[in-house]
């Protein structure tokens, strides 16, 4: 990890404006402050908050949290194992998870809260109720106009503004996402105090993922189904829990009891977005990261992890060449674009493996059972290139 002289950090005297206070925005604000940059952050909401949802932080993300000064045990519980089960609830295979640095099951709100504490403690300044209306790049940097009429001028603007990023559109034009033919429900129910084990129940054309949160006091549920009917994109569309229960009525094991406990559920359509062609401008005035650069399907649980990696990589690139931001942004993009593109492709492929139908499903499950006995960690080692990566090294 780069050693930083606290008396003379490499980005002292440099300024940046970050758009968005999600995982990527908060993380990059903390990382930039670590290197001495003066950071202001614009957030459209009236406060930094996140509705209930779970996420998984894998070792590549854990290393970034540690570099930012955040103890991962403050935001989640270390995962013991991942179990793959068939739709009836029968165990197909169980993968014991490495404990150093570990995989963590987190409530998204807890991760956001930890990043916010770190951001405020590092001295970054946040401005709420600042929804961006217009963004212009000019000879001096960028001019950001908000919907309440406030204008912000900055030599460097960083777009951590998510799926519908204003800065991504400025750099790349309008995107054309493609509906995957899949929808996902998410819900959080009261937990049963169970151990930190993630379970995946696989059925024809659908699967359900569940794991405990906050020491087992809550349980996160994400259920994915293939369908022809289109559903709106975004996480905040309410649905009737009866629809979810009907869709997964044939699933067994603990699933029926979990579904009966749901009183509030959200539904969203899963769309494929291309990884951004341009991550920065040529003059070194603007860059994007996180979902603004590479939206991904949730089937590798890498959205938050890639955002954390981006945050450190961007800050580190700027710190390496503080007087040449254009060069720094080129190095950042060159390092991150190929890796994130490969992870997005891996997530696309994973969806199909969970949804096998007869006669392929029984054969594939049998192979998994035998393979686990012969080489217990082989399935996990396929993704060493993701999990063992250390962007802070």
DSSP state of 276: P
- In 3D space, the residue among 29, 37, 3 whose CA is nearest the CA of residue 310 turns out to be 29
Question: β-strands 238-239, 265-272: how paired?
Answer: antiparallel
Neighbouring-strand partners of residue 41: 18, 126
> Do residues 333 and 345 lie in contact, with contact meaning Cβ atoms separated by under 8 Å?
no
Tell me if residue 211 is catalytic. Answer: yes
How far is 176 from 183, CA to CA, in rounded Å? 18
How far is 311 from 33, CA to CA, in rounded Å? 11
Catalytic residue among 211, 332, 354, 387: 211
User: Which residues make Cβ contacts (< 8 Å) with residue 96, sequence separation at least 6?
Assistant: 80, 81, 376, 377
How far is 195 from 16, CA to CA, in rounded Å? 42
- In 3D space, the residue among 57, 60, 50, 82 whose CA is nearest the CA of residue 72 turns out to be 57
How far is 364 from 298, CA to CA, in rounded Å? 22
> Do residues 335 and 188 lie in contact, with contact meaning Cβ atoms separated by under 8 Å?
no
> Do residues 283 and 138 lie in contact, with contact meaning Cβ atoms separated by under 8 Å?
no
Orientation of helix 108-122 relative to helix 23-34, angle to 10°: 30
How far is 2 from 320, CA to CA, in rounded Å? 9
For 7-76, give the DSSP string: TS-TTTT-EEEEE--SHHHHHHHHHHHHTT-EEEEE-SSSS----S-EEEE-HHHHHHHHHTT--GGGTE
How far is 262 from 268, CA to CA, in rounded Å? 17
**Looking at the annotation, which residues are catalytic?**
211
């Amino acid at each position: 990890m780069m050693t930083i002289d606290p008396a003379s950090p490499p980005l002292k005297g440099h300024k940046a404006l970050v758009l968005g206070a999600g995982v990527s925005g908060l993380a990059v604000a903390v990382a930039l402050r670590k290197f001495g940059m003066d950071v202001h952050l614009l957030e459209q909401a009236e406060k930094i908050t996140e509705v209930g949802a779970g996420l998984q932080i894998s070792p590549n993300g854990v290393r970034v949290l540690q570099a930012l000064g955040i103890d991962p045990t403050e935001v989640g519980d270390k995962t013991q194992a991942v179990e793959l089960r068939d739709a009836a609830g029968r165990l197909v295979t169980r993968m014991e998870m490495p404990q150093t640095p570990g995989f963590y099951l987190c409530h998204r709100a807890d991760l956001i809260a930890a990043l916010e504490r770190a951001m405020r403690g590092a001295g970054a300044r946040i401005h709420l109720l600042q929804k961006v209306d217009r963004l212009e790049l000019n000879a001096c940097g960028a001019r950001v106009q908000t919907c309440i009429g406030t204008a912000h001028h900055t030599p460097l603007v960083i777009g951590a503004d998510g799926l519908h990023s204003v800065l991504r559109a400025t750099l790349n034009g309008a995107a054309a996402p493609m509906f995957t033919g899949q929808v996902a429900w998410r819900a959080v129910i009261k937990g049963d105090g169970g151990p930190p084990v993630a379970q995946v129940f696989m059925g024809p054309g659908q699967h359900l993922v569940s794991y405990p949160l906050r020491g087992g006091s809550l349980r996160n549920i994400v259920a994915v189904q293939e369908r022809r009917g289109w559903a709106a994109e975004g996480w905040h569309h309410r649905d009737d829990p009866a629809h979810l229960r009907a869709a997964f009525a044939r699933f067994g094991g603990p699933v029926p009891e979990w579904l009966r406990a749901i009183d509030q559920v959200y539904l969203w359509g899963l769309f494929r977005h291309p990884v951004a062609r341009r991550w920065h401008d040529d003059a070194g005035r603007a860059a994007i990261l996180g979902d603004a650069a590479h939206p991904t399907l949730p089937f590798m649980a890498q959205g938050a992890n890639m955002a954390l990696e981006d945050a450190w990589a961007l800050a580190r690139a700027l710190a390496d060449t503080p007087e040449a931001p254009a060069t720094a942004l080129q190095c950042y993009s060159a390092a991150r674009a190929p890796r994130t593109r490969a992870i997005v492709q891996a997530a696309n492929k994973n969806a199909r493996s969970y949804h096998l139908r007869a006669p392929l499903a029984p054969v594939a499950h049998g192979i998994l059972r035998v393979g686990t006995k012969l080489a217990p960690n082989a399935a996990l080692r396929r993704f060493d290139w993701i999990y063992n990566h250390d962007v802070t090294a």
